[in-house]
Amino acid sequence: MALLLFSATSRPRAAPPLVRSATIAITSDGTRVVTINPDSNSITTLDTKRELVVCTTPQTLSIDGARVFVVCRDGSLNEIDLDAMRVRRAVAAGFDPFGVVASGGRVYVSTHDGIAVFDETTLARVTTIATEEFSHGLAIDGGKLYVTHFRSGKLSIIDLASLAVMNVIATGLDSNVSQSVVISGMRAYLPQTRSNSNNPALIFDSTAFPIVTVIDLANGVNLSSERIAIDIADRPSSLPVDIALTSDGRAFVVNAGSDDVSIIDLAQRRAIAHLQVGSSPRGIALSPDERFAYVNNTLSGSVSVIDTRNNTIANTIATTTIPLDSSILNGKILFNTSNQTTLAKDRWIACATCHFDGGTDGRTWFFKDGPRNTPPLFGIGETLPMHWSGDLDELQDVESTIRNIQAGTGLASGASNCEPSCDTAPPNAGRSKDLDDLAAFMRSLRAAPRVIALGDAALRGRALFASSGCASCHVPPLYVDQKKHDVGTGSNPLEHKGTSFDTPSLRGVADSAPYFHDGSAATLIDVVDTHGSATTLTSGDKNDLVAFLRTISFSTTPERRRAVKK
Ligand SMILES: [Ca+2]
Ligand SMILES: [Ca+2]
């Protein structure tokens, strides 16, 4: 159905379009729309309806002329010839890259360690710009590169002539899940989630808040008075991850958790409309004439086409058949959505709110058990029991999180089987297809592959890890003993579940600061300064031990190229 799809003939905007990383993008002449399909490992062109397998888990793309650049969780940067629909070349971009923008003869990729800069013609690496941690969404405007930081919510501004970081703007200590940025005039707009983890009396609707942060670029300040609270401007929603602005002052905010788009009048900070779209919408692209906005529903394998004249959905176009096992796909949808009363009240929270893409928000929440730092969920099926107090003995016990944290009615009917504690109550496995599917999805979660070479310090640290007795509890290769120990960290009067904690796995520990169950150690050096026999080591030995800890990763075996189809 060609209905209302393209409008290439209408007048283009005067200003050059903003170049930014997104999960969906349109060529500057408005004739071609390209999506990435994370679970199909592919991209799709909407106009020609062609799909091309590119890499494992594409994250974002950027279009420059007939070339498309795609970065993927497997660490690759890929150049695609859009006319021939083939991968022209692929190079290594770094660990866990997310954003990509191509402009002015260069390609910029946000990786875990900063911004990798490539020559656009040869894809040779030019340099790496060190930034704040967790560089994520990217946009280029007026000779500057804007970089969001996923967990801190800060915005870095890099001068593209000198490749120097000019400014880092804070947006509030609770800003989180900062995936994207758009620039309009002297304002930057960042969809974010406020993680209200300082709240000692959490209820579901005081836990996390969906917002659009507004930054005054002339003065380099966060305009908290202009911040848009989406739950107030529109209605309860969750996980705003992308945004498009029209020149008449409307913001189209994509809420990945509540599976909807809030259309907000920027001057009034009030919603004009909201549109329910597909599952896990992760990006939006506006046609150059602003006539249509395209939303990539990553877990439906479809694009919703919004007619911006009347703020309605004009069309939904299939983009891919997601080849995941049907149970895992269902579990992934449940993990990512807040739009089901079984899972969450008022569309407020999704599992992904705190564990976006299975990772961690880096926050420490006041849960019923006491202060609890959010762990990443990669490899979770291998390191039971779960929770810091070790009282969840099966993945289905997250039924208690659904009911107690998200205020959902529960995926299983009847009791939560977590009273007085999940491991003493009857099992939750086999009670509900959805709960079993959620468990199956969590069991499938893997960290981004990381290639690590052990330097001299790390090699010395590895020997110390063995000789200092660390390995007796953190037993390689999983670095757990599946037992609880009192290591002197549980004296806080807020603790309600004893002073012993389940030995945490150290795989990927470099990426999961802060440390200990209560987040009381900000860095790994803080851990070894207070933890077990490490306290008696010299400072040189402690540094070596930390150098080793930083290399402990999940399996470096590349993820399977295509998920298994059942
Ligand atoms: Ca565990
Ligand atoms: Ca942690």
Whether 226 maps to a domain, the answer reads yes
Calculate how far, in angstroms, residue 160's C-alpha sits from the geometric centre of ligand 2: 34
Calculate how far, in angstroms, residue 402's C-alpha sits from the geometric centre of ligand 1: 19
Written as six digits, the tokens of 443 are 């069991």
Calculate how far, in angstroms, residue 289's C-alpha sits from the geometric centre of ligand 2: 46
Same domain for 498 and 367? Answer: no
| Residues whose beta carbons lie less than 5 angstroms from ion ligand 2 | 373, 512
Same domain for 292 and 200? Answer: yes
pLDDT of the residue at 8: 42
Same domain for 340 and 255? Answer: no
Mean pLDDT score across all residues of the chain = 94
Whether 451 maps to a domain, the answer reads no
Measured between alpha carbons, how far is 428 from 410 in angstroms, rounded to an integer?
A: 11
Query: Relative to the alpha carbon of 521, which ligand is closest?
Result: 2
Residue 344 gets which letter from DSSP? B
Query: Relative to the alpha carbon of 377, which ligand is closest?
Result: 1
Calculate how far, in angstroms, residue 383's C-alpha sits from the geometric centre of ligand 1: 5
Instruction: Provide the CATH number for the domain around residue 488.
Output: 1.10.760.10
pLDDT tens string 218-244: 999 999 999 999 999 999 999 999 999
CB-based contacts of 162: which residues, under 8 Å, 6+ apart?
none
Written as six digits, the tokens of 303 are 């694009």
Alpha carbon of residue 214 to chain centroid: 20
Calculate how far, in angstroms, residue 501's C-alpha sits from the geometric centre of ligand 1: 9
Check pLDDT > 60 for residue 5: no
Calculate how far, in angstroms, residue 453's C-alpha sits from the geometric centre of ligand 1: 27
Among residues 414, 444, 474, the one where a domain terminates is 444
Q: How confident is the model at residue 9 (pLDDT cuts 50, 70, 90)?
A: very low
Q: How confident is the model at residue 453 (pLDDT cuts 50, 70, 90)?
A: confident
Calculate how far, in angstroms, residue 395's C-alpha sits from the geometric centre of ligand 1: 11
Same domain for 235 and 178? Answer: yes
Among residues 379, 411, 444, the one where a domain terminates is 444
Calculate how far, in angstroms, residue 522's C-alpha sits from the geometric centre of ligand 2: 9
Interval 475-483 mean pLDDT:
96
Calculate what percentage of the chain has a pLDDT beyond 70: 95
152: nearest Cα among 180, 175, 130: 175
Same domain for 382 and 466? Answer: no
pTM of the predicted protein model: 0.95
Calculate how far, in angstroms, residue 339's C-alpha sits from the geometric centre of ligand 1: 29
pLDDT of the residue at 459: 97
Calculate how far, in angstroms, residue 166's C-alpha sits from the geometric centre of ligand 2: 30
Whether 332 maps to a domain, the answer reads yes
Whether 7 maps to a domain, the answer reads no
* Measured CA angle at 88 (ends 85, 91), to 5 deg: 135
Same domain for 70 and 157? Answer: yes
Q: Is residue 193 a contact partner of residue 353, using CB atoms and an 8 Å limit?
A: yes
Among residues 305, 323, 341, the one where a domain terminates is 323
Beta-bridge partner residues of 222: 215
Query: Relative to the alpha carbon of 383, which ligand is closest?
Result: 1
pLDDT of the residue at 502: 98
pLDDT of the residue at 6: 47
pLDDT tens string 134-174: 999 999 999 999 999 999 999 999 999 999 999 999 999 99
Calculate how far, in angstroms, residue 534's C-alpha sits from the geometric centre of ligand 1: 22
Query: Relative to the alpha carbon of 391, which ligand is closest?
Result: 1
Measured between alpha carbons, how far is 274 from 265 in angstroms, rounded to an integer?
A: 12
pLDDT tens string 519-561: 999 999 999 999 999 999 999 999 999 999 999 998 744 333 3
Calculate how far, in angstroms, residue 232's C-alpha sits from the geometric centre of ligand 1: 38
Q: Which helix (H) or strand (E) holds 146?
A: strand 144-149
Query: Relative to the alpha carbon of 517, which ligand is closest?
Result: 2
Whether 429 maps to a domain, the answer reads yes
Whether 565 maps to a domain, the answer reads no
* Measured CA angle at 408 (ends 405, 410), to 5 deg: 110
Instruction: Report the amino acid identity of residue 189.
Output: Y
Alpha carbon of residue 432 to chain centroid: 28
- Residue 488 CB-density burial (10 A; 0-12 exposed, 13-18 middle, 19+ buried): exposed
Same domain for 416 and 469? Answer: no
pLDDT of the residue at 378: 97
Whether 51 maps to a domain, the answer reads yes
The count of structural domains within the chain is 3
Calculate how far, in angstroms, residue 512's C-alpha sits from the geometric centre of ligand 1: 15
Same domain for 29 and 145? Answer: yes
| Beta strand pairing call for 260-265 and 187-195 | unpaired
Question: Following DSSP, what letter does each residue of 52-87 receive, concatenated?
Answer: EE-SSSEEEEEEETTEEEEEETTSEEEEEETTTTEE
Calculate how far, in angstroms, residue 204's C-alpha sits from the geometric centre of ligand 1: 25
Calculate how far, in angstroms, residue 364's C-alpha sits from the geometric centre of ligand 2: 8
pLDDT tens string 316-336: 999 999 999 999 999 999 999
Query: Relative to the alpha carbon of 362, which ligand is closest?
Result: 2
Calculate how far, in angstroms, residue 359's C-alpha sits from the geometric centre of ligand 1: 15
Calculate how far, in angstroms, residue 446's C-alpha sits from the geometric centre of ligand 1: 15
Calculate how far, in angstroms, residue 363's C-alpha sits from the geometric centre of ligand 2: 8
Calculate how far, in angstroms, residue 236's C-alpha sits from the geometric centre of ligand 2: 29
pLDDT of the residue at 17: 66
- Domain containing 332: what range? 327-444
Calculate how far, in angstroms, residue 366's C-alpha sits from the geometric centre of ligand 2: 14
Hey, what's the torsion of the CAs at 226, 227, 231, 237, to 10 degrees? 140
Check pLDDT > 60 for residue 109: yes
Residue 425 gets which letter from DSSP? S
Same domain for 389 and 469? Answer: no
Query: Relative to the alpha carbon of 387, which ligand is closest?
Result: 1
Residue 451 gets which letter from DSSP? -
Q: Is residue 107 a contact partner of residue 69, using CB atoms and an 8 Å limit?
A: yes
Calculate how far, in angstroms, residue 362's C-alpha sits from the geometric centre of ligand 2: 6
Q: Which helix (H) or strand (E) holds 209?
A: strand 208-216
Calculate how far, in angstroms, residue 380's C-alpha sits from the geometric centre of ligand 1: 7
Calculate how far, in angstroms, residue 367's C-alpha sits from the geometric centre of ligand 2: 15
Measured between alpha carbons, how far is 145 from 104 in angstroms, rounded to an integer?
A: 12
Calculate how far, in angstroms, residue 535's C-alpha sits from the geometric centre of ligand 2: 20
Calculate how far, in angstroms, residue 392's C-alpha sits from the geometric centre of ligand 1: 9
Interval 471-476 mean pLDDT:
97
Same domain for 354 and 302? Answer: no
Calculate how far, in angstroms, residue 498's C-alpha sits from the geometric centre of ligand 1: 16
Calculate how far, in angstroms, residue 410's C-alpha sits from the geometric centre of ligand 2: 27
Instruction: Report the amino acid identity of residue 359.
Output: G
Instruction: Provide the CATH number for the domain around residue 267.
Output: 2.130.10.10
| Residues whose beta carbons lie less than 5 angstroms from ion ligand 1 | 383, 502
Calculate how far, in angstroms, residue 240's C-alpha sits from the geometric centre of ligand 1: 30
Beta-bridge partner residues of 211: 192, 229
Whether 391 maps to a domain, the answer reads yes
Measured between alpha carbons, how far is 314 from 255 in angstroms, rounded to an integer?
A: 19
Same domain for 128 and 268? Answer: yes
Residue 383 gets which letter from DSSP? S
Same domain for 402 and 319? Answer: no
Check pLDDT > 90 for residue 24: yes
